[in-house]
Amino acid sequence: MSRQVFDEIENLVTETRNPRTMDIDAKNTTEILQLINAEDSAIPAIVAGEILHIAHATDLVVETLKHGGRLIYIGAGTSGRLGVLDASECPPTYGTDPEMIQGLIAGGYKALLRSQEGAEDVFEDGQRDLEEIGFNEKDVVFGIAASRRTPYVLGALNYAKTIGAKSIYLTCNPRHEVSIDVDVLICPVVGPEVVMGSTRMKAGTATKLILNMITTTAMIRMGKVYENLMVDLRMTSKKLEERSKRIVMMVANVSYETASALLEKADGHVKTALVMALANVNAEEARARIEKADGLIRKAIGLS
């Protein structure tokens, strides 16, 4: 088994040596930073090359969420932490139910703080963790594995397929080298890392960019953004309370006092307050319009 794993790793793009950083240990601080920055600067263009696949994944996520399903990220190490991070940021930013987008990581949540070596090697644990959260055919699983071979992730993707659920897979190795059957495959090939095998660097950066793109676009498509403003946030902290007032002031062109009053009548919900102001209706009518418009403010106020 050890030799098999060695052979798998030896040929991975993410595990090869970077010819541009072979003498990085002989550089001074500024030179090392310049090398790292030069490698990082190529990542956005690499991600851009995957836009069509990212769009396919995003559309799949939107359809899943609109029909009552969930988006479940699953990964190990850095990949798992990035999935958990993205999932955790959606409720405060977009007012989503914490159950709607979740992140699972090999070794459990303790692995967020301290590496759980070996947890990623158990194929069956991917299925087990999905089963524990009641994963079903309405959900979509989003596997993240920079190396493309993480058994924990592959086990989860395999389970999704057996129960008829949709699946997305993000890996930083070439598409033609990936044989697993998924609905959407995203492959930002960022090349060898600055330090061989340290996929928390370029691979991690590409992953973070893509996850940001997918959930942000999905939230926009679901009406949680008006113009370029977050309008489904809840006033759960002083900062969010004042941000909510500022958004209502900017969009509706009203005073601080009027914005505060609108939000009070809207039970602190920015989107409702905006429809009240822009369509000149009460809170009950605003909520009805929002529901009829599938959450889209432009439709709710009759702009489109």
| CB-based contacts of 126-132 (< 8 A; 24+ apart in sequence) | 126/74, 126/151, 126/152, 126/153, 126/154, 126/155, 126/156, 126/157, 126/158, 126/159, 127/155, 127/156, 127/158, 127/159, 129/74, 129/104, 129/156, 130/72, 130/74, 130/104, 130/156, 130/159, 130/160, 131/159
In which region does residue 105 sit, left (phi positive, over 0), alpha (psi from -120 to 50) or beta (all else)?
Answer: beta
| CB-based contacts of 113-119 (< 8 A; 24+ apart in sequence) | 115/77, 119/76, 119/152
Q: Provide the CA 274 distance to its chain's centre, in angstroms.
A: 27
Q: Which residues are catalytic?
A: 89, 120
Contact between 134 and 104 under an 8 Å Cβ cutoff? The reply is no
Q: Provide the CA 24 distance to its chain's centre, in angstroms.
A: 32
